[in-house]
């Protein structure tokens, strides 16, 4: 489980320079950017905050995200 302190400081790496890049914690497995809709998986309680990883899931609807996310290769 991610701590509230960490959730308060994490921002979308793709948006943070030009926008707020605020993230919503979704189903304890995903961080979803409120500006660009990129979705970053949380694997073994570690957020995978790579822009390429967020790009993979940008067009997937929230309700269709796999729970838990697939392992990162």
Quick one: pLDDT at residue 6? 93
Quick one: pLDDT at residue 1? 79
Quick one: pLDDT at residue 72? 81
User: How many CB atoms are closer than 10 A to CB 4?
Assistant: 8
Going from the C-alpha of 4 to that of each of 1, 8, 38, 55, the distances in angstroms are 9, 6, 20, 25
pTM over cut 0.85 = yes
Quick one: pLDDT at residue 2? 87
Residues in the chain predicted with pLDDT less than 50, given as ranges, are none
Domains in the chain: ranges and CATH: 4-64 (2.20.25)
User: Buried (b) or exposed (e) across 35-44, using 16+ Cβ within 10 A?
Assistant: bbebbbbbee
């Amino acid at each position: 489980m991610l701590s509230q302190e960490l959730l308060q400081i994490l921002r979308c790496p793709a948006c943070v320079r030009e926008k707020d890049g605020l993230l919503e914690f979704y189903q304890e497995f995903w961080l979803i950017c409120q500006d660009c809709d990129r979705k970053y998986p949380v694997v073994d309680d570690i957020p995978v905050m790579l822009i390429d990883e967020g790009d993979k899931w940008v067009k997937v609807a929230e309700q269709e995200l796999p729970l838990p996310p697939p392992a990162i290769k």
